Structure 1
């Protein structure tokens, strides 16, 4: 018995190393295909009267938004045997677009970034589909999620290094970095493809994951509409804030006297802290307790964002300390929904579906907000002081999301207790248990 337990623990540990490592590296490499351009300033360039970098960012995100919209259907209905082919095709198209960005003359090469965003919009959902519905998904999803934090800083740092130390042109820099990343990404995708399928124990604990057609998606949303509406609105704001931080951090903070690797160092520390926190949820076998504690964690992160932003001048924090606290608070809130939350939500309410539907929905809504914000800024020709803008938005987002997620948490608990009462009533009303 003891030997069997030890073998099982070893098997779980090996699965975590295999699946978690492949998931983490996969999305890190996706960032290498998508985000290095954010390290460039593109000073002095415009596109149709707009700031060139804002135009590049907006157009790439527009492609990303369109991919997310179609991803609601694609990821929800993607069969397991087609995942790897879709994965590889998306990666190759993304690198081809970056090469086009280098070949075409500015400012018209921005169209290449639209294709790049379009090709990568479904990658998160595809990668997550390989690892969801397992008893160790909390740990696997944590590794996948923190790759987003870590990779954002690393992509910028590699971009700065390539331009500053290797003297690579700012338009070719994304393609060069993507060229190194592409073969590694395909290898990671192959490793995910070879993962063993969820076991009977996984299915008992986390529910079987199945494809979800249009009728099923509508039925699912309507059943949990009040809860999901609040979560989607909150995530809309969190994602807009996260995108502003990621894409314009070099505008928010003065990097002229800082190391090219500053972003990577800060995000590495944030990554380790979040990974440690999220990994603790693997010890929660009770899904409703896990959900409620996750909501508490999210609310705490949102309140911290509001406090640090509102009292910034009073606190007089050094810029690096401010960046660390903001990054940690924002990513705890944002990544909770991108990783653990919906996997537990499906398990708690025994939903017939998959995580891809939820994540594609919140991402589509969120990125649509980012495109709207950036487009409005350029259309109205508003001159922004990026640091002040981020602080003000962070304060408002943190406060509003705290309210939304508190209400959502209460509704989740009420929904769960109602369903438990219904199941208990049906159990005792079953003639098999009627002794009269």
Structure 2
């Protein structure tokens, strides 16, 4: 006969297997889903569009600005939309978004330049809320740290892969710059629809998930304002720092072929470097699942971010002195930037909600920081185009990266101090309430005892 210990061991083993299967199912579907979103949005960045101007501006810069404007408007709408989106409407939203995105890419190839630029506005508009929708399937679970890490690294690896595939399609398959995005998107669309269906079939969070990570609920306008006021000091620090990080990341992604000379390197260099960065970040963030204390995870994450932004600043401001190779420089920049950026796109706000027992959802925070960040990106690109058209992209990026690193290092360090002090204060309040309630509980217990 089995002993109680044997039964407990067997149940624990079955639970671990169940968790592993769920991680592979949910995490794999989330990772592949957002990777395919990139296939609908980013391949055009592999094209240089050399010699093309539009309305007196550099063609590629204008295409980028127009797409980001659509993306930006989607983020603004998403602050309300994602905060209030109910689970039964998620799949419909995904299908509508990817169909509009691919149609816009077809129009980009079909319409003559420069008028095809406006098709990219609808591409950005249709895909701006996809991250928040995909994240809503996996948040608030015991395994969210691993699931969010898998989703988060899709940003890192997909950016390089999208560029590499774009270069391959143009250089090897000899597809033109304007039709290349539509061809890649045509392969991505049905796969993304299938993965959306897979995510929609995930089981809802269990009672144990809710106990450890708190229940996730929709937020109306009044609740969003109240939440922001309650944590305003740290949210301002995080939003401003993320504004700078998103600007830097978007410039790196969209203009990397102008920042570094690719003539002596393989078209797969981006994918190779991003793959290594992906594995490192996955290992770092994945280990957070073993840390149960939410405040400890927040401190660890912010400490890693500070280390990353400080390193990024040092390498950028000392570029001429260090004399690093292109590959080494790009690896350090990518790792430092994405550790910081992905922290807030994946784990941080899920743990933040759980730590302070916030009634809300991760989508609200992520869409908000993205809206703020992409607003900054548009302003920087427009400033560059109108006031400094003969810019040296490498010098421009290194200077921006250096100063962004310094500001973010200070902002995130202050955030650590605030969160620790806020947590200690709330713990003292909870302890005080428990002490006050204890005599009443004892009195209540005595009152029901038989005389």
For normalisation by structure 1, the TM-score amounts to 0.99
Secondary structure (helix, strand or coil) at the match of 1:16 reads: helix
Query: What is the CA distance between 1:433 and its match in structure 2?
Result: 4.6
Equivalent-residue separation in structure 1 for 2:434 and 2:72 (angstroms): 45
Residue deviations 1:339-398, cap 9 Å, x none? 000000000000000000000110000000000011111222432101111111110011
Task: Answer yes or no: is 1:319 the counterpart of 2:326.
Answer: yes
Q: Which runs of 5+ in 2 are unaligned?
A: 1-7, 447-451
Task: Answer yes or no: is 1:247 the counterpart of 2:261.
Answer: no
Out of 138, 142, 152, the position equivalent to 1:135 is 142
Out of 84, 90, 111, the position equivalent to 1:104 is 111
Equivalent-residue separation in structure 2 for 1:312 and 1:46 (angstroms): 32
Task: Answer yes or no: is 1:32 the counterpart of 2:39.
Answer: yes
**What residue is the counterpart of 2:85 in the other structure?**
78
Q: Which runs of 5+ in 1 are unaligned?
A: none
Query: What is the CA distance between 1:434 and its match in structure 2?
Result: 6.5
Equivalent-residue separation in structure 2 for 1:245 and 1:207 (angstroms): 36
**What residue is the counterpart of 2:449 in the other structure?**
none
Displaced runs of 4 or more, over 4 A:
433-436
**What residue is the counterpart of 2:402 in the other structure?**
395
Out of 200, 203, 219, the position equivalent to 2:226 is 219
Task: Answer yes or no: is 1:63 the counterpart of 2:65.
Answer: no
Query: What is the CA distance between 1:10 and its match in structure 2?
Result: 0.4
Equivalent-residue separation in structure 2 for 1:40 and 1:372 (angstroms): 22
Residue deviations 1:93-112, cap 9 Å, x none? 10000001000100111100
Query: What is the CA distance between 1:257 and its match in structure 2?
Result: 2.3
Query: What is the CA distance between 1:313 and its match in structure 2?
Result: 1.7
Equivalent-residue separation in structure 2 for 1:31 and 1:198 (angstroms): 28
Out of 142, 147, 160, the position equivalent to 1:153 is 160
Equivalent-residue separation in structure 1 for 2:110 and 2:273 (angstroms): 34
Higher alpha-carbon Rg: 2
Query: What is the CA distance between 1:432 and its match in structure 2?
Result: 2.1
Superposed, 1:397-436 pairs within 5 Å as 397-430=404-437, 431-433=439-441
Residue deviations 1:252-297, cap 9 Å, x none? 0111222111111110011011101110101010000000111101
Which has the larger displacement, 141-150 or 370-379?
370-379
**What residue is the counterpart of 1:341 in the other structure?**
348
Give the count of matched residue pairs. Answer: 436
Equivalent-residue separation in structure 1 for 2:17 and 2:442 (angstroms): 46
Equivalent-residue separation in structure 2 for 1:41 and 1:293 (angstroms): 40
**What residue is the counterpart of 1:351 in the other structure?**
358
